[in-house]
Structure 1
Amino acid sequence: MTDNNKTSETVMQMPSDHPNRRSLLKMAGAGAAAFGIGAMINTAKAKPLSMTTEWDKVFPKSDKVDHEKVSFKNRYGITLVGDLYLPKDRNQGAMPALAVGGPFGAVKEQSSGLYAQTMAERGFVTLAFDPSYTGESGGEPRNVASPDINTEDFMAAVDYLGLHNTVNRERIGVIGICGWGGMALNAVAADKRVKAVVASTMYDMTRVMSKGYNDSVTLEQRTQALEQMSRQRWEDAANGTPAFQPPYNELKGGEAQFLVDYHDYYMTSRGYHPRAVNSGNAWTQTTPLSFMNMPILSYIEEISPRPVLLIHGENAHSRYFSETAYEAAAEPKELLIIPGANHTDLYDQLDVIPFDRIEAFFGDALV
């Protein structure tokens, strides 16, 4: 086990015949909107906030945990809806807890719920939640994201957990997946109540929206994207409703392999959910505006002295996000690279996600 007081870059060893799954990540909110794909006007009226009562997750329900649907408000007055998981075999005393969010464009019925349920099986009270404006959570218009408000959503989840009668509020951690990995790091840098953070297959959404993959966007391209989105605001204001990007993850042929792989997760029985932005729905066309000038990892070193665990697949096209964050973070920190794994292996592949290490990490940190 890694000592939290030491810098560590670890490679988890797996069998040589371990399958090399395809990487599937399409960054929701950046590709189409930032580079000029045409608008689609969504004139549907918003639905009132409601919470499903049936089990509609993409993963089976565990008989080792108790589950309940909950709601709470963030600092901006937006009602968030979450799934609370509690170990069935639990003591009467206050327990450690984890707030879990992500991936970007997903809902709590997908990866974050799987992480939350699995960690509840391992003795933690866990809360997977839908971010503002998405899924079952409130906020208008629908399917818009904000680096500020979505960072706040994590803090609001910590508010909820800290007031729950099963939770020891001095033993709260955070898990962020994909784009919400970056949000988690940003939230924990500011929220000193959180004792430790895990970012799995992390995406820095402000970096990729403003600079493109591998920082490839030129100043001219960035200016053109901002020009388009700025003028789109007049169109949205005139129409009284936002323009939306084309549906995500619908293939027409000729796409890059990682987009094909993304489709294989979000548009198949493996991960499809009708409320997820990435499952054939769309972000508003102006969603990237607030991300373009706001690097969310500027203060990552201020997470210290609380520990950070960054987990990424060896073959993930997004690996550079975690490597950059690891270099910028202060100790104690660990970068865990999973051999042969790609980006979305860490969404739902139980034989790839290092839950033993995550459990040990929080077991050491939330004391």
Structure 2
Amino acid sequence: MDKHTEITNVLTEKDVPDEGRRNMMKLTGAGMVALGVASLTTGKTFAQSSIKLSDEWDKKFAKSDKVDHKKITFKNRYGITLAADLYQPKNASGKLPAIVVGGPFGAVKEQSSGLYAQIMAERGFVTLAFDPSYTGESGGEPRNIASPDINTEDFSAAVDCIGMQGNVDRERIGMIGICGWGGMALNAVAVDKRVKAVVASTMYDMTRVMSKGYNDSVTLEQRTQGLKQLSQQRWEDAGKAAPAYQAPYNVLKGGEPQFMLDYHDYYMTPRGYHPRAVNSGNAWSQTTPLSFMNMPLLTYISEISPRPVLFIHGEKAHSLYMGKTAYENAAEPKEMMIIPGASHVDLYDQVDVIPFDKLTSFFKQHLA
């Protein structure tokens, strides 16, 4: 594993890549969501009246012949039905350790989370990748909204579900959160003591970036103005009895920072495009940022201890500063692995970059 660098101390500011920093500073504003560029214009409402699971293998990765796969559904404690993919090692016997996987923010289980889940199942774990409430094949209306509370609950509901599987050892359940769901996973594990170990891969703290902008560059005046705009939008939504949606992100206009190009290369090309993903030409509701701007996700991150947490981040990731802060605020035992030369999006699907050997050894040690 000589291509990976493990650190046990917090990185300093000089370790944040310079590339795109000046351009990132331009992408500020309280309404910023995962891609950071959604404009407040009315878009399509994505209605869903019932759960309908696709029968086809429509994932962005090849099906493994080393695992058994099936689609399942389960409910969270708010009564929303979630859709998930359950992966199990072929010909395994006895009670097995298990891992639930979620993320990235605006993605679906057919993308990054499913890839992580399938590969970890190949390595001996029962795994579950799920679509968060209001997105993908999961239930909840209106469509394409997010909530720091409800989406944190989605993770715990996934733990409920996987722990009900007959071949799962409930005392050996772990969690992986990717991108924006890295922060959700950390928040879930802080309160859900059933989870014995957690990994945050290329994480975002969505409450931080929505309320403060990239690199915490939003001023109080800008935040206040953004909240006023979102508050007024509530009158518009109430009058129409339906939410307005942001403009879909699907066209590059030129001048975008590198991380925006990376997002586009994943979500809007055959590499990662999926029609059910919010980030693949669909859109979040305009008022989605409101609860994120008023409810810091990682307030109780230190309460994950004494259970271990592993942070994985790319050396060139624009989001690295969020991982640094989370690592600093977490209590021991904790570990951070920096992947040399890797960007934020590299850890979505680049199997030669994602440190699956490290993930395997981490969970085998702590779910023993």
Q: Is the Cα contact below 8 Å between 2:70 and 2:87 reproduced in 1? A: yes
Pairing of 1:123-272 with structure 2 (within 5 A): 123-272=124-273
Q: Which moved more, 1:45-54 or 1:300-309?
A: 45-54
For residue 62 of structure 1, the aligned residue among 52, 61, 64 is 64
The match for 1:49 is 51
Where does the alignment leave 5 or more consecutive residues of structure 1 unmatched?
Answer: 2-6, 12-21
Distance of 2:39 and 2:202 partners within structure 1 = 27
| CA-to-aligned-CA distance 1:262-298 (integer Å, 9 cap, x gap) | 1111000110000000000000000000000111101
Pairing of 1:26-45 with structure 2 (within 5 A): 30-31=32-33, 37-43=39-45, 45=47
SS at match of 2:99: strand
Deviation at 1:34, TM superposition (A): 8.5
Pairing of 1:328-347 with structure 2 (within 5 A): 328-347=329-348
The match for 1:286 is 287
Letter in 2 for 1:57: K
Distance of 2:46 and 2:322 partners within structure 1 = 36
SS at match of 1:321: helix
| CA-to-aligned-CA distance 1:26-69 (integer Å, 9 cap, x gap) | 99x72499989332143564342100111000000000000000
Pairing of 1:2-151 with structure 2 (within 5 A): 8-9=8-9, 30-31=32-33, 37-43=39-45, 45-91=47-93, 93-151=94-152
Alignment CA distance shift 1:237-1:165 (3 Å)? same
| CA-to-aligned-CA distance 1:139-177 (integer Å, 9 cap, x gap) | 000000000000000000000011110100000000000
Distance of 2:255 and 2:293 partners within structure 1 = 28
SS at match of 1:180: helix
SS at match of 1:123: coil
Alignment CA distance shift 1:97-1:45 (3 Å)? closer
SS at match of 2:195: coil
Deviation at 1:254, TM superposition (A): 2.4
Identity of aligned residues (%): 72
Deviation at 1:9, TM superposition (A): 5.0
**Runs ≥4 in structure 1, deviation > 3 angstroms?**
31-36
RMSD: 2.4
Alignment CA distance shift 1:361-1:32 (3 Å)? closer
Q: Is the Cα contact below 8 Å between 1:10 and 1:336 reproduced in 2? A: no
Alignment CA distance shift 1:44-1:71 (3 Å)? closer
The match for 1:354 is 355
Alignment CA distance shift 1:331-1:215 (3 Å)? same
Letter in 1 for 2:178: I
Letter in 2 for 1:353: I
The match for 2:275 is 274
Q: Is the Cα contact below 8 Å between 2:34 and 2:180 reproduced in 1? A: no
Alignment CA distance shift 1:120-1:233 (3 Å)? same
SS at match of 1:311: strand
Q: Is the Cα contact below 8 Å between 1:33 and 1:245 reproduced in 2? A: no
The match for 1:19 is none
Q: Is the Cα contact below 8 Å between 1:36 and 1:228 reproduced in 2? A: no
Deviation at 1:240, TM superposition (A): 1.3
SS at match of 2:261: helix
Q: Is the Cα contact below 8 Å between 1:10 and 1:337 reproduced in 2? A: no
Letter in 2 for 1:201: T
SS at match of 2:142: coil
Alignment CA distance shift 1:226-1:10 (3 Å)? closer
Letter in 2 for 1:90: A
Alignment CA distance shift 1:33-1:267 (3 Å)? closer
TM-score of the aligned structures, taking structure 2 as reference length: 0.91
Letter in 2 for 1:199: A
SS at match of 1:176: strand
Where does the alignment leave 5 or more consecutive residues of structure 2 unmatched?
Answer: 2-6, 12-19
